[in-house]
């Protein structure tokens, strides 16, 4: 039986830029760092990993990672304060979540959400 997702690993062409981006959103780095080829961040009970890839490696849209957060509006404000421009403003969805989307510097789509009460 599937019990959950332990981690997701995203590729990056610029580890230093990616580490700064995710740290500015509040992800806690636990391994690696700006000069590493592999970096891990704590994401609740799971992990977000970054793996460095050469510039000639390309990727196309593959989907979106959705992170549950304690306060969607506060994280949206934090993104703006750190010069990150989300693609949407926080909104309530008909499927019962408050959410917003943004894209990281390597083109990975991210969503930050919270179930509505």
Length of the chain: 117
What gap in Å lies between CA 72 and CA 91, rounded to an integer? 9
Bridge partners of residue 111, in order along the sequence: 66, 101
Instruction: Please tell me the predicted confidence (pLDDT) of residue 60.
Output: 83
Instruction: Please tell me the predicted confidence (pLDDT) of residue 2.
Output: 58
The ranges of the chain with pLDDT < 50 are: none
Instruction: Please tell me the predicted confidence (pLDDT) of residue 32.
Output: 97
- What domains does the chain contain, in order, with CATH numbers? 7-54+64-115 (3.10.180.10)
CA nearest neighbour of 71 among 40, 26, 28, 109: 26
Instruction: Please tell me the predicted confidence (pLDDT) of residue 117.
Output: 80
């Amino acid at each position: 039986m599937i019990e959950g997702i332990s981690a997701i690993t995203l590729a990056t062409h610029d580890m230093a830029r990616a580490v700064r981006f995710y740290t500015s959103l509040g992800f806690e780095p636990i391994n690696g760092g700006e000069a590493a080829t592999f970096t891990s961040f704590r994401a609740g009970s799971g992990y977000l990993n970054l793996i460095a890839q050469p510039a000639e490696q390309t990727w196309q849209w593959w989907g979106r990672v959705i992170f549950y957060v304690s306060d969607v509006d506060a994280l949206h404000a934090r993104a703006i304060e750190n010069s990150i421009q989300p693609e949407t403003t926080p909104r309530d969805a008909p499927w019962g979540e408050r959410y917003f989307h943004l894209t990281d510097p390597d083109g990975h789509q991210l969503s930050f959400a919270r179930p509505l009460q």
